[in-house]
Structure 1
Amino acid sequence: MLYIVLVLVLAALGLLVAALITANSLWAWISIGLSIVAGLLLVFDWLRRRKKRSAEADASVEETADDPSDETEEASESEEGDEKKPEDAEQTVLMPATGELGDADETEPAASETKPIGDPGEEKSDPADVAIVSELEIEVVVVDEYPRYHVTTCTWLETRDTIPLGIGEARQLGFTPCALCTPDAEIAGQHRDSA
């Protein structure tokens, strides 16, 4: 668009010079007309770019509003309370909806890191067991990038790195019980036996 405007301005300048040399007013009027067209093209281009930028800004605002990971990060930050952390410390954010555990700075994991293969199914918990375990402060473990919580003796865990959580907190964060180690049934059974 700018090249067209430049050509029009140069043509208008050439016609203006021709009008001065030949003393013909027609060339001057054509020069003025080309200058007006060039100005209108510049205004049109400016308005088009402005509209495009505002559309892109609106789209990015909508993407930010629709991004579920932002809500999870905000929820994690609000649960931390007023606890202060150094700015250069790496923060870990739990994202149970996708079963992921990610860095707050959204960096990709190193190529040498390997993810555990397979995901155990979800335990079909008895509602009575769920009522019992949700009141307890028993510790369970979760694995990076998987949505299940487990008892520490679960065979699926093997040598995987685990993160300890209270069972109530794990359920609040959206983690679900593992079908292999059936933590809800096991913990509820232990609680009944001890009571």
Structure 2
Amino acid sequence: MLYAVLLLVLAALGLLVPALTTAQTHWAWLSVGASGAAAAVLALDWWLRRRSGPGAAGTAVVDHQVSGGDRRPGSEGTGDEPAGSPPDQALSEPAEEDVDAADALVVSELTDEVRVLDERPRYHLADCSWLAGRTSLGLPVDEARRLGFTPCAVCRPDGRLADRERTATASEPD
């Protein structure tokens, strides 16, 4: 779709040249029409991507997760999921925490440690129930945010870290 937009924009520019060099206004209107068509194609592409998720409109999504059938014998309970958990639970991702702007601002300046899992989009507090039995890495929260990780809705790290920071700041003597 983006190639179609590019072609329409180039056509609009090409039609603009005769509109500027001649006294005929239909060239200008054709240029405006081509620009409008390009905008419509962009809006359609955006709508298709939003409606269908990340795999829509020609975007390839590669999933590197090990499914239940691809598991090697004897590897039960040694992956990212707890032993005995069903495969759909192992692949499910917790929702993203709905963070208010004030909390996000406070957390963006903190260096408290949060936990992340390789190839997973969320960061968690160490006591998060979703992390139980999974191997995680520790990162400062400001670095995790810079790397594109988002907060987990299960353990609500941004809200809890912001509350902890506000409590610590309020209890400090002036």
Normalising by structure 1, report the TM-score.
0.43
Larger radius of gyration: 1
